[in-house]
Structure 1
């Protein structure tokens, strides 16, 4: 699924270009992706696109600390939670976007929630929202797409 999402991120600068699911499925099949992988990725992406950051807008106004519940702590490693905190502390993610990332991470099987997948999920949230990607942090996040670190 992550390969499909990375492909979409690289191929389409505008997420609205992904609206025609049938055409997108044909293109992804022609690119060599498996049907199940395509379906999973498009379903996941559709859920993200249908999620409104308005659900979490009040979080942007709060000054409290984010505490993770037992399920979140169990499913997301301390490294993943640390990455989310780092991205938020450095203004790459708003609190509302952080919650969207957490929601989409928890939609994944537990064994697929890694730092690399969290980076890709954060990129996908920012991409869907057409948010500005901070230059240095953007390079760090992009290594999830390219599969190799770009920062030293």
Structure 2
């Protein structure tokens, strides 16, 4: 499934250029991907599309969390995350994601490149991915796909961290 997602990211890096799912399926089949991998990736991408459409980025970025106007515009029952809040992961999330993936999500959050609304989509899509614990390289692909779904490109240093193979790094 992740090979298909990487192909989609590389070939349709502008999310709006990506064809509809049934047409994408035909294109992926023509490229030579396995039917089961394509189906799994399309189901996963559909979930990503739904999550991205239901998130209202503009409301979170246009005003501070304590601004009453921004809070009034938020969907009913949705509260912005305060600066002092802490995300607690369920036992199921901890088991499925594993220590490396959770540590990487924490790193991205503390670096200020993974806002709370995107973090929740990353966690949701990671929970929908196969593998327990989830491989760190697979989580990096998920983070890239979440950025892609919002039509955003990560900062160059973040992109380097997401695409860099740590096995070939040389310690100084």
TM-score (norm 1): 0.86
Residue 104 (structure 2) pairs with residue 83 (structure 1)? yes
- CA positional deviation for 1:62: 4.9
Aligned residues: 148
Larger Rg: 2
1:66: which partner in 2? 87
- CA positional deviation for 1:57: 6.4
TM-score (norm 2): 0.77
Structure 1 residues not aligned, in runs of 5+? none
26-35 or 15-24, which deviates more: 15-24
- CA positional deviation for 1:24: 1.3
Residue 69 (structure 2) pairs with residue 48 (structure 1)? no
- CA positional deviation for 1:59: 4.4
2:150: which partner in 1? 129
Structure 2 residues not aligned, in runs of 5+? 57-74
Partner SS for 2:23? helix
Change (3 A) 1:138 1:25: same
* Separation (CA, whole Å) in 2 of partners of 1:151 and 1:23: 39
After superposing on structure 2, the runs of 4+ consecutive aligned residues of structure 1 that deviate more than 6 Å are none
* Separation (CA, whole Å) in 2 of partners of 1:72 and 1:43: 20
The structure with the largest helix share of the pair is 1
Partner SS for 1:131? coil
* Separation (CA, whole Å) in 2 of partners of 1:112 and 1:33: 25
- What is the RMSD of the two structures over their aligned residues, measured on CA atoms? 2.2
- CA positional deviation for 1:78: 1.1
